[in-house]
């Protein structure tokens, strides 16, 4: 949340400065020396209020004007402080709830609460933690100022092999993937996957004789690339000329224990490969940005789903037209059905495919149901003819190309 003790201090500073300006007509926040004294007094009062109900703030000679020196004498109650910092305290709620949701845990599953950071000594923060975790009181045996250092020491022992009975697991805060046909964000590593981890998927080309593929590495939870964060881009050149969907491009995502992401792409036919390394300081998002992206993904989930269904339907229809055309006309040495069909059958199929492609081109905003209906109409013309040559299983576009082509057509296209 990028929330710390300074944020609470500032609430007190602003309160003191506002009260002083109302009383004396002087803006202390413009005076560096006065601001420094206000900040020191605010921190002292904040610390005191963790143990007492009221804190006295006395700042003699804070400034002066033509009438003489000015002083601050205020009493800040714990209740007033909690009122001033109410929005900051509430900001602590969402990360805890999100962490429990991601871990698929309820408050009854929490064994112990360990507080991190000096500001967790604020009573209202401890009360919030207790409420969120089923009424369990936070562990008071560990100094919250030292708990991060203690954890780092334990992790060092684990990495050095000296600590055997503890396993500390880190996870990816957001999903990682690549952009595929239609601007879709295709996930390879899902959010909250334990690291280190490695995932490989095979993709293919989107057009005939495509000489290269561009790998756009994405981070985020939205369905489309444009709504996610681009971590990096690289290109794999030298893909041998081949029909759409035939080349097999193996993309591998690997995250090591330090959170460094390596992404590689290899053409399985030639062995040619390219890769990119993305470190934690290169384009990674802050915790605040991550939280914002997760909220946006939830907020726009229904809208994204509808658009994704439309893109998937369009890609499926477009792929069917392409594969059926290749099967009917033949491609390279593979003559497909071109030698078996009579001229009338071939013409009937090609006319249907031409009509389908024309409809797609002239209806870019058609919804998923409309696209599926048109797809069904075209397939209804082609399938009976194709089934005569491939038997009962020959209704789909992939069926015209045999088992291996079926598998290739299933790959997402880059």
SS3 per residue for the chain: CCCCHHHHHHHHHHHHHHHHHHHHCCCHHHCHHHHHHHHHHHHHHHHHCCCCCEEEEEEEEEEEECCEEEEEEEEEEHHHHHHHCHHHHHHCHHHHHHHHHHCCCCHHHCCCCECCCHHHHCHHHHHHHHHHCCCCCCECCCCCCCHHHHHHHHHHHHHHCCCCCCCCCEECCCCEEEEECCCEEEEEECCCCEECEEEEEEEECCCCCCCEEEEEEEECCCCEHHHCEEEEEEEEECCCCCCCCCCCEEEEEEECCCCCEEEEEEECCCCCEEEEEECCCCCCCCHHHHHHHHHHHHHCHHHHHHHHHHHHHHHHHHHHHHHHHHHHHCECCECCCCCCCCHHHHHHHHHHHHHHHHHHHHCCCCCHHHHHHHHHHHHHHHHHHHHHHHHHHCCCCHHHHHHHHHHHHCCCEC
| Mean pLDDT in residue range 224-250 | 91
pTM above 0.85, yes or no: no
Residue 189 and residue 288 in one domain: yes
Say if residue 403's pLDDT is above 70.
no
Residue 100 and residue 32 in one domain: no
Residue 267 pLDDT: 93
Residue 336 pLDDT: 66
Residue 366 and residue 280 in one domain: no
Residues 49, 55 contacting (CB under 8 angstroms):
yes
Residue 215 and residue 273 in one domain: yes
Q: pLDDT > 90: what percent of the chain?
A: 50
Q: Is residue 335 part of a domain?
A: yes
CATH code (residue 75): 3.90.640.10
| Mean pLDDT in residue range 299-320 | 89
Summarised one tens digit per residue, pLDDT across range 168-195 is 678 888 899 999 988 999 999 998 888 8
Q: Is residue 169 part of a domain?
A: no
Q: Is residue 165 part of a domain?
A: no
Residue 294 and residue 310 in one domain: no
Q: Is residue 343 part of a domain?
A: yes
Residue 187 pLDDT: 93
Say if residue 295's pLDDT is above 90.
no
Q: pLDDT > 70: what percent of the chain?
A: 91
Residue 413 pLDDT: 76
CATH code (residue 398): 1.20.1270.10
| Mean pLDDT in residue range 259-273 | 92
Residue 258 pLDDT: 81
Using 50, 70 and 90 to split pLDDT, how confident is the model at 332? low
Residue 207 and residue 290 in one domain: yes
Q: Is residue 135 part of a domain?
A: yes
Domain boundary among 243, 277, 299: 299
Domain boundary among 299, 333, 354: 299
Say if residue 400's pLDDT is above 50.
no
| Mean pLDDT in residue range 394-411 | 44
| Mean pLDDT in residue range 118-146 | 89
Residue 181 and residue 288 in one domain: yes
Residue 313 and residue 344 in one domain: yes
Residue 138 and residue 220 in one domain: no
Split into its structural domains, the chain has a count of: 4
CATH code (residue 99): 3.30.420.40
Summarised one tens digit per residue, pLDDT across range 366-396 is 999 999 999 999 999 998 888 887 654 434 4
Domain boundary among 84, 118, 150: 84
Q: Is residue 167 part of a domain?
A: no
Say if residue 346's pLDDT is above 80.
yes
| Mean pLDDT in residue range 122-140 | 90
Q: Is residue 171 part of a domain?
A: no
Summarised one tens digit per residue, pLDDT across range 199-217 is 999 999 988 889 999 999 9
Q: Is residue 16 part of a domain?
A: yes
Least confident of 263-277, 281-295, 342-356: 281-295
Summarised one tens digit per residue, pLDDT across range 15-57 is 999 999 999 999 999 999 999 999 999 999 999 999 889 999 9
Say if residue 110's pLDDT is above 70.
yes
Residue 248 pLDDT: 92
Residue 47 and residue 149 in one domain: no
Residue 78 pLDDT: 94
Residues 271, 256 contacting (CB under 8 angstroms):
no
| Mean pLDDT in residue range 274-282 | 81
Average pLDDT, the chain: 86
Residue 319 and residue 382 in one domain: yes
Using 50, 70 and 90 to split pLDDT, how confident is the model at 398? very low
Residue 264 and residue 378 in one domain: no
Domain that holds residue 21: 5-84
CATH code (residue 246): 2.60.34.10
């Amino acid at each position: 949340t990028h929330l710390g003790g300074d944020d609470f201090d500032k609430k007190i500073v602003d309160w003191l400065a506002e009260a002083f300006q109302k009383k004396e007509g002087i803006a202390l926040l413009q005076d560096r020396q006065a601001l420094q004294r206000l900040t020191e007094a605010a921190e002292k009062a904040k610390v005191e209020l963790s143990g007492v109900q009221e804190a006295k703030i006395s700042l003699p000679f804070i400034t002066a004007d033509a009438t003489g020196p000015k002083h601050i004498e205020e009493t800040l109650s714990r209740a007033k402080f909690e009122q001033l910092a109410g929005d900051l305290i509430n900001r602590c709620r969402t990360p805890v709830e999100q962490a429990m949701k991601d871990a698929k845990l309820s408050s009854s599953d929490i064994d112990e609460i360990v507080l991190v950071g000096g500001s967790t000594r604020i009573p209202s923060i401890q009360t919030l933690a207790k409420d969120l975790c089923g009424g369990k009181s936070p562990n008071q045996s560990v100094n919250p100022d030292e708990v991060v250092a203690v954890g780092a020491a334990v992790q060092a022992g684990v990495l050095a092999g000296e600590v055997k009975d503890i396993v500390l697991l880190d996870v990816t805060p957001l999903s990682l993937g690549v952009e595929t046909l239609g601007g879709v964000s295709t996930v390879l590593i899902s959010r909250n996957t334990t690291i280190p981890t490695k995932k490989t998927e095979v993709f293919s080309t989107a057009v005939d004789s495509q000489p290269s593929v561009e790998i756009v590495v994405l981070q985020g939870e939205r369905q489309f690339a444009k709504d996610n964060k681009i971590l990096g881009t690289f290109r794999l050149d030298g893909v041998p000329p081949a029909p759409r969907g035939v080349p097999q491009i193996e993309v591998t995502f690997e995250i090591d224990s330090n959170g460094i992401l390596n992404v590689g792409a290899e053409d399985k036919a030639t062995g040619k490969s390219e890769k990119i390394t993305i470190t934690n300081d290169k384009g990674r998002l802050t915790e605040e940005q991550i939280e914002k992206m997760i909220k946006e993904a939830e907020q726009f989930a229904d809208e994204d789903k509808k658009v994704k269904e439309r893109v998937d339907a369009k890609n499926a229809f477009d792929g069917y037209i392409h594969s059926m055309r290749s099967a009917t006309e033949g491609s390279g040495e593979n003559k497909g059905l071109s030698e078996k069909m009579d001229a009338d059958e071939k013409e009937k199929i090609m006319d249907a495919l031409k009509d389908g492609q024309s409809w797609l081109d002239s209806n870019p905003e058609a919804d998923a149901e409309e696209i599926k209906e048109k797809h069904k109409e075209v397939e209804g013309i082609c399938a009976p003819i194709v089934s005569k040559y491939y038997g009962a299983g020959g209704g789909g576009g992939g069926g015209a190309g045999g088992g291996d082509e079926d598998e290739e057509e299933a790959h997402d296209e880059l």
